[in-house]
A = this chain, B = another copy of it.
């Protein structure tokens, strides 16, 4: 889009929020919005100046502190962080097939996420369907805080559950007070707007609770063009932008300076079936345009890799690569769903997870610039080898061959004959052996016994108290 087109979408969104506004289902949120606009029943209209003020106080860059310092990350600017799939109800692998996710599956994805340095943060890669819903957040948070030392994720699924997770992160990080906890972002979540133009109670409270405690929140409108958003990309982007602005403004009314991220997830539906169509060229274009909109308002950007494929095959590979690459090009500071996403997000795949790790590692490798200096130009080596020779045995090669090139995790450079001797395995076939090996070799990060015990005590106590309801 041209700069003018970007400004048109931004100004149209601001005007629309002032004239027509959003429906907000939560009274507390409406009262907060009333400080910067008007409320009529459930409809909230927001003053343009209040939105501009929010964009001025929302930080363009901030840090998120992990339980161990070397796992901390930056958001905004040129930072790029990759996160695995979040939230599918199903899990699939080539040994046990497709089934509802369990806590053990969630733990396995946490173990694999811990294993790969290219993942900046964990995500709850699959829902633990075997755990009662009122206890789920406790066991999931305990798993993420003990099996990994990366930035934890907290679901915004109710006030008491968020509070429990914050308390557990305080234990893991050795933090005593809420004030100390709130001094830095130490976890993150995503709030989805109920597109079009609606913010429900659970999501509204997520914004309020995360903002008030200074934790990183991504505001992501769920704008599938043709279904919850206009069929035209410009219209879907306009809706995405106004909904994001509404959420960002609420966060800044609650706590000016709260760390908030512009979430972009605009894709389209398949107009033949009405199914969500992930991994499309339209999603790509929306990712580029969202980058322009996020930069226009000076906020960090979240984007996604995605695919509609049902198996870890060529479609899955191409769609995921295209969209992850496109998210990267769009300037995303955090790309979600970069590993394990399958079936349009309904299933987390063990095989896809490790295949996608190859992709993530290759993209990370690509970010290292070409070094041009006397040593790398190798003029002397070129002369020594002479016309028609080869560089295999030269000292210039021998000094560098062990680390010169990206060493693949799973992808092969076999000849056809080697591949045939191995039984002609597909990438998916080879992936099964790899994830099993990673889980077999997994080692938990160091964790003080007292902290582990305190976390366990907390979980047991809260379970004995009945856990926490979803809408509490």
Contacts and interface: CB of A to CB of B under 8 A. Distances in A.
A397 B233 contact: no
Interface stretch (A104-112, A159-167, A275-283, A444-452): A275-283
A365 B22 contact: no
Nearest to A401: B271
Contact of A280 (B238, B386, B406): B406
User: Mostly helix, strand, loop or mixed at chain A's interface?
Assistant: mixed
A389 B235 contact: no
Interface in A367-425: 368-373, 375-379, 381-383, 385-392, 396-397, 400-402, 404-406, 410-416, 419, 424
A275 B417 CA distance: 13
Interface string A218-245: 0000000111111111110111000000
A48 interface: no
Interface stretch (A135-143, A176-184, A191-199): A191-199
B232 A400 contact: yes
Contact of A314 (B1, B22, B232, B312): B312
Interface string A287-327: 00100000000000000000011111111111111100110
A426 interface: yes
Contacts of A388: 23, 194, 196-198
Interface in A309-363: 309-322, 325-326, 329, 343-344, 346-347, 352, 355, 358-359, 362-363
Given A196-B382, A227-B390, A314-B317, A412 B308 contact: yes
B378 A230 contact: yes
Given A232-B378, A427-B313, A391 B359 contact: no
Contacts of A379: 12, 16, 235, 238
Nearest to A21: B387
A310 B402 contact: no
A366 B284 contact: yes
A98 interface: yes
A71 interface: no
Contact of A365 (B225, B281, B314): B281
Nearest to A326: B366
A282 to B, nearest CB: 6
- Identify the interface centre among A279, A355, A411: most chain B CB within 10 Å of its CB: A411
A9 interface: yes
Contact of A369 (B1, B308, B343): B1
A319 B363 CA distance: 11
A273 interface: yes
Contacts of A229: 391
A43 B386 CA distance: 11
- Identify the interface centre among A98, A233, A321, A401: most chain B CB within 10 Å of its CB: A321
A314 B428 contact: yes
B412 A310 contact: yes
A232 B371 contact: yes
- Identify the interface centre among A23, A198, A231, A352: most chain B CB within 10 Å of its CB: A231
A115 interface: no
A424 B92 CA distance: 13
A326 B377 CA distance: 23
Contact of A313 (B197, B415, B428): B428
Contacts of A237: 370
Interface of A: 1, 5, 8-9, 12, 16, 20, 22-23, 43, 90, 98, 194, 196-198, 225-235, 237-239, 268, 270-271, 273-277, 279-282, 284-286, 289, 308-322, 325-326, 329, 343-344, 346-347, 352, 355, 358-359, 362-363, 365-366, 368-373, 375-379, 381-383, 385-392, 396-397, 400-402, 404-406, 410-416, 419, 424, 426-428, 431
12 contacts: A227-B392, A231-B404, A277-B405, A279-B411, A282-B405, A285-B369, A309-B427, A310-B414, A310-B424, A312-B314, A315-B427, A318-B355
9 smallest A-B Cβ distances: which pairs? A317-B317, A235-B378, A23-B387, A230-B378, A314-B317, A234-B376, A281-B365, A5-B372, A232-B376
